[in-house]
Copies of this chain bind each other. A is one copy, B any other.
Amino acid sequence: MQKLRVESFSISLDGFGAGLNQSLDKPFGVGGERLHQWFSPTKTFQQNVLGKSNGTLGVDNDFAENGFKNIGAWIIGRNMFSPYRGLPNDNWKGWWGENPPYHVPVFILTNYEHESIVMEGGTTFHFVTEGIHAALEKAFDSANGKDVRLGGGINTIRQYLKAQLVDELHLAVSPIFIGSGENLYLNLELTSLGYICTKHISSDKAIHLVIKKTINT
């Protein structure tokens, strides 16, 4: 069975996945960049995202690496693709340069139709205006039997959780407080939705949580 997986998603102790006022300079909002201090030194990030050969091993890297295993497509929200709100900017091709770290089809949830954008290295950005169920169906269809990774941001993940469509989540809780912005847990009854935390493990820089859906819907 193909799964929809959230992987390496960073939140603060108080549940925020991004700070306020996302912008071109601050893709994670004010204070949000501190959320990723566990991820950026890892070998997985250094290699897959920056193209470097160094990077740390250990628990953090184990989770980071696992997040890229058996992934045949991604789904991301519009805010994770672009800092622009409203009508799309036709020159914008994501934050990641000509060769984005996906290397598979990426389905972007948006209200505005846009032609697909073929990037280097196997990544193609597709724009889906028909909602989260349609995006998931397209992603599963194009994933060659592999799983689909749900990237974020918070609002996108919350929509899929409320619809009980996420099979597994790995959250990396950074030991910081953000205090305002987009909160994963706000008015979200995860237990009622069938989710339980099956594993928790701490590294120096994060508390890793594995959460699984226990109800088959």
Contacts and interface: CB of A to CB of B under 8 A. Distances in A.
Interface residues of A, number: 24
Contacts of A65: none
A53 interface: no
A100 interface: no
A175 B15 contact: no
A176 B197 contact: yes
B179 A191 contact: yes
Given A14-B190, A15-B185, A185-B15, A195 B177 contact: yes
B189 A179 contact: yes
A215 interface: no
Contact of A191 (B177, B185, B196): B177
A17 B31 CA distance: 26
Contacts of A202: 200-202, 207
Contact of A14 (B188, B196, B207): B188
A192 B179 contact: yes
A61 B85 CA distance: 51
Contacts of A13: 185, 197, 209
Given A14-B15, A15-B15, A190 B207 contact: no
Contacts of A201: 202
A66 interface: no
A14 B178 CA distance: 14
Contacts of A196: 176-177
